[in-house]
Structure 1
Amino acid sequence: MKPLLIIILLFISTFSFAQEEEILEEKEIKAIVVNAQTDAVMGDVHVINLNKVKGTITKEDGEFTILASVDDILYFSFLGFKSQKIRVTNDMFKFQNTKIALTELAYALEEVIVKPYQLTGYLEIDVKNAPINNAYQYSISGLSVGYEGGNKNPSAVTKVLGAILNPADLLRNLFGKQPNQMKKLRRIKEDDQIRDLLASKFDREVLMELLQIEKLDIQDILNNCNYSKSFIRTANDLQILDAISSCYEDFKVLNRKK
């Protein structure tokens, strides 16, 4: 009786494992992205598998192909359209050319000030009156990275000294909250399609989705990595990614040495 029971249990375990493997199996999805208002196909739409950290773009006929598993989240982004997240289902594998509709955003034009500074026409005078970005960067012997300072970041000197005296503790609380998300940084940087998308964006939206962190977390990380407010405000998402990645790599090295 016992051998029979063992065989039954083994069969059930094998069957359950096979089902789980089938669910998690990575397959190709083929779908089409269209305009929700006009039903016209949309080319050059960025599609990112947030779970696998892989990206692609749609062809001229709106079609795209990407590797995914059931329950993966696909993220769609296109300038002038509302970004959208779709959860992968079994039906998307069974029925090819599923339509994904994106909705256009309505933009309201804001008032534009054409002449914020009074120019005299004399170069020497106008140069003195022109605004200057004081986001200086300190370079310290023995450290491989610089630290931004100036009027935009008055606490830069304090942060530099803090980084020298106790660099790991400065960031442990920030990076320690999301270790799995931070591990994605290298994979994100290796995907050309994702890098191209990040280079064209300034809203941190894609980074927030990929790393599963809030916008305030991104600001906190960069502030504690001694980047100026000017850089945090004006850099594109790819520059922000590289800054976070560089800071995280330094943190890992310092944390191991402690």
Structure 2
Amino acid sequence: MKNIILLLILVVSVAAVSQESIVQPPLIEGQVLNDATDEPLENVNIVNLNSVVGATTDEAGNFAIRATVNDTLYFSYLGFKSIRVRVTNDWLKFGDIKIKMTELGIALEEVKIRPVQLTGYVEVDAKIIPIYDNYRYRISGLSSGYEGGSQQPGAVSKVLSSIFNPADFLYNVFGKRPQQMRKLRKMKDDDEIRNLLASKYDRETLMAVLQLERVDVDEILNKCSYSEDFIRTANDLQILDAISECYEEYKVLNRGKGKG
């Protein structure tokens, strides 16, 4: 009897290993070059938009990432135009492929800083000094708070509305994009992607993976009552965590609303 049990365990283990090896996507390789100079680009970020895994090029511009046919790879690099490349049968068949990225001309706008000039009179200076009213409201029963921006006089009522009527604000973004929203957790669990997002502020990778426009990303955060300062200054990893937190609360509250 013991021998039969051991045999069954062995068969199940072998089957599980075999199944895992079949499911595991192949590792494809390539090299990223500067289109103008053919010089290799180091630290280019690559994200498989389908499986949501990331990779980075080495000093010779080489990379390796797991992907299957028809997966879309998203390449991004500071100062260069981001591109999407579809994985083809030829790539899997012949192996190494060269990806060329085009450099962008970056023009920085002039920023004028105007100092606050105080008069010494309290009544006058109180009207001159800018006030930043970025509050974060905490509501009993929730693990986190909600921010209200400085230009939102109805911040408190808006917070309550977004909590008790989440579908009214967020269904069009969350409810109609279940597949994209499920990728949030994968992005949070992939160290390559987290490291990439921590150094970026352009929202491009988030928009590519979640299939959202920049205005949609800002609107999600706005409807979840994050302040304008946060939306403007947070890096992409902070934005990812904020959207993910809002989505998780949306799901919980929406289920509760459905039961009622």
Question: Structure 1 length normalisation: TM-score?
Answer: 0.82
Which residue number in structure 2 is paired with residue 91 of structure 1?
90
Give the alignment of 1:77-88 within 5 angstroms.
77-88=76-87
Aligned counterparts of 1:163 and 1:109: Cα–Cα separation in 2: 37
Deviation sequence 1:104-126 (CA, Å, 0-9, x none)? 1111232232x421457x9x999
> What SS does the corresponding residue of 2:142 show, helix, strand or coil?
coil
Which residue number in structure 1 is paired with residue 190 of structure 2?
191
Aligned CA distance change for structure 1 residues 160 and 44 (closer, same or farther; 3 Å)? same
Which residue number in structure 2 is paired with residue 218 of structure 1?
217
Aligned counterparts of 1:163 and 1:250: Cα–Cα separation in 2: 11
1:96: Cα distance to partner? 2.7
Name the % identity: 56
Give the alignment of 1:160-171 within 5 angstroms.
160-167=159-166, 169-171=168-170
Give the alignment of 1:107-118 within 5 angstroms.
107-113=106-112, 115-118=113-116
Aligned counterparts of 2:172 and 2:231: Cα–Cα separation in 1: 20
Which residue number in structure 1 is paired with residue 51 of structure 2?
52
CA contact (8 A) 1:153 1:228 kept: no
Which residue number in structure 1 is paired with residue 152 of structure 2?
153
Aligned CA distance change for structure 1 residues 140 and 56 (closer, same or farther; 3 Å)? same
1:190: Cα distance to partner? 0.5
> What SS does the corresponding residue of 2:115 show, helix, strand or coil?
coil
1:155: Cα distance to partner? 2.7
Structure 2 runs not aligned, ≥5 long = 1-21
Bigger CA drift: 177-186 or 153-162?
A: 153-162
One-letter code aligned to 1:88: V
CA contact (8 A) 1:135 1:152 kept: no
1:248: Cα distance to partner? 0.7
Which residue number in structure 2 is paired with residue 62 of structure 1?
61
CA contact (8 A) 2:149 2:226 kept: no
Aligned counterparts of 1:130 and 1:41: Cα–Cα separation in 2: 50
User: How many pairs were matched up?
Assistant: 234
One-letter code aligned to 2:48: N
One-letter code aligned to 1:206: T
CA contact (8 A) 2:48 2:72 kept: yes
Aligned counterparts of 1:155 and 1:174: Cα–Cα separation in 2: 23
Question: Structure 2 length normalisation: TM-score?
Answer: 0.81
